[in-house]
């Protein structure tokens, strides 16, 4: 059995809805956005765990909660057995060296007024590590590691002088600077050209083996998820609908929502049998989610019980969890 790195337990985040003057007087109760509701799962060392789902399902908010970039409404996240929400400021700063993030937009996440060397070297400076000359050597090593060569020339360039793929390599190098154990990759190739995506994904796979990294991958691109993942959790409207090994998710999905997501991916082979499930309508408002199963308003097999009672996330096969009354 692999060793557990992260344990996420009943993680919940509700954002209050800001009201105008009249609304604050007339409204009987305050409203909240249900961004994440009672989400629980574990991430094992050296694995790639992916969260997938439509925009607005709660994937990125879950990742920010795990990194404590956002404070939770309730629930807990334990990193190597320690609750990150109980850490003081100094303890949390030390934890940051083991938990890093690669952002979706490589241009917006880089300071345009700093060179690549300054950006990648910032974690050393923040943590008070190394002298200036030692930092330069470490940054040059990182530039070489992520394939930005010649490193000395790249060191003094600004973000606008790099291509999109090169900027994402800078973001990856910055995340690796402190040799973390865990990295959140939030749609790391979504804004890149198709020809560049495979290069970045191959780089991430190579670095994972070389540095013994653990990834949490956030994506709506199922081809990326299939290529990168060991296990996958499918989220819908702030809750987990299905969780299993990646090969089980793609070979034998149990939840109608998972089947619909996979059906939406075109496969240029008429011999491949598709899960013929088509989604209708839009994802409901997270301010007022549907009663019972949150997917029942769009589900092709929904019955009365689906709107009356919320299904529990239960094991229907070995390490295959599904939240559906009719998963069997």
Distance, CA of 164 to CA of 178 (rounded, Å): 23
The token duo for 261 is 């997501």
**What tens digit of pLDDT does each residue of 227-271 get?**
999 999 999 999 999 999 999 999 999 999 999 998 877 666 666
Listed by start position, the domains of the chain span 4-98+180-322
pLDDT tens profile 115-162: 999 999 999 998 888 888 899 999 999 999 999 999 999 999 999 999
pLDDT digits (tens, 9 = 90+) for 168-187: 999 999 999 999 999 999 99
Measured between alpha carbons, how far is 162 from 124 in angstroms, rounded to an integer?
Answer: 23
Task: State both tokens at 19.
Answer: 């009201």
pLDDT tens sequence across 198-234: 999 999 999 999 999 999 999 988 989 999 999 999 9
Cβ distance 135 to 121 under 8 Å?
A: yes
Residue whose C-alpha is closest to residue 205's, from 221, 189, 222: 189
Question: What value, to the nearest 5°, has the Cα angle with vertex 70 and ends 33 and 39?
Answer: 65
pTM of the model: 0.91
**Phi/psi at 243 (5° precision):** -145, 125
Residue 106, CB-side half-sphere exposure with 13 Å CA sphere:
29
pLDDT, tens digit, 9 for 90 and up, residues 301-328: 899 999 999 999 999 989 999 999 998 7
pLDDT in tens, 280-303: 778 889 999 999 999 999 998 899
- Token pair 């969260």: residue: 51
The per-residue pLDDT for 266 is: 66
Q: Which CATH architecture has domain 4-98+180-322?
A: 3-Layer(aba) Sandwich (3.40)
């Amino acid at each position: 059995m692999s060793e557990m790195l992260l344990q996420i337990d009943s993680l919940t985040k509700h954002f209050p809805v800001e009201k105008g003057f009249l609304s604050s007087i007339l409204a009987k109760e305050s409203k909240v956005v249900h961004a994440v509701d009672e989400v629980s799962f574990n991430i094992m060392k050296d694995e790639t765990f992916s969260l997938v789902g439509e925009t607005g399902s709660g994937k990125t908010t879950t990742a920010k909660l795990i990194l404590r970039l956002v404070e939770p409404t309730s629930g807990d996240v334990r990193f190597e057995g320690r609750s990150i929400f109980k850490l003081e400021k100094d303890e949390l700063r030390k934890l940051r060296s083991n938990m890093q993030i690669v952002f979706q937009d490589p241009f917006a996440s880089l300071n345009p007024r700093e060179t690549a060397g300054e950006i990648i070297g910032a974690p050393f400076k923040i943590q008070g590590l190394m002298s200036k000359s030692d930092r330069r050597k470490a940054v040059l090593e990182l530039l070489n590691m992520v394939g930005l060569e010649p490193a000395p020339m790249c060191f003094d360039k600004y973000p606008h002088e790099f291509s999109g793929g090169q900027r994402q390599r800078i973001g990856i190098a910055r995340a690796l600077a402190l040799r973390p154990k865990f990295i959140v990759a939030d749609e790391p190739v979504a804004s890149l050209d198709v020809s560049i995506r495979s290069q970045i994904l191959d780089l991430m796979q190579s670095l994972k083996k070389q540095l013994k990294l653990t990834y949490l991958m956030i994506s709506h691109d199922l081809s990326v998820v299939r290529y990168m993942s060991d296990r996958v959790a499918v989220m819908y409207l702030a809750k987990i609908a299905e969780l299993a090994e990646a090969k089980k998710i793609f070979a034998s999905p149990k939840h109608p929502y998972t089947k619909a997501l996979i059906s939406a991916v075109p496969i240029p082979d008429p011999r491949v049998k598709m899960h013929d499930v088509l989604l209708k309508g839009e994802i409901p408002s997270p301010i007022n989610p549907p009663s019972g199963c949150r997917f029942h308003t769009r589900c092709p097999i929904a019955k009365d019980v689906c709107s009356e009672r919320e299904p529990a996330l239960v094991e229907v096969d070995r390490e295959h969890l599904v939240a559906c009354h009719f998963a069997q």
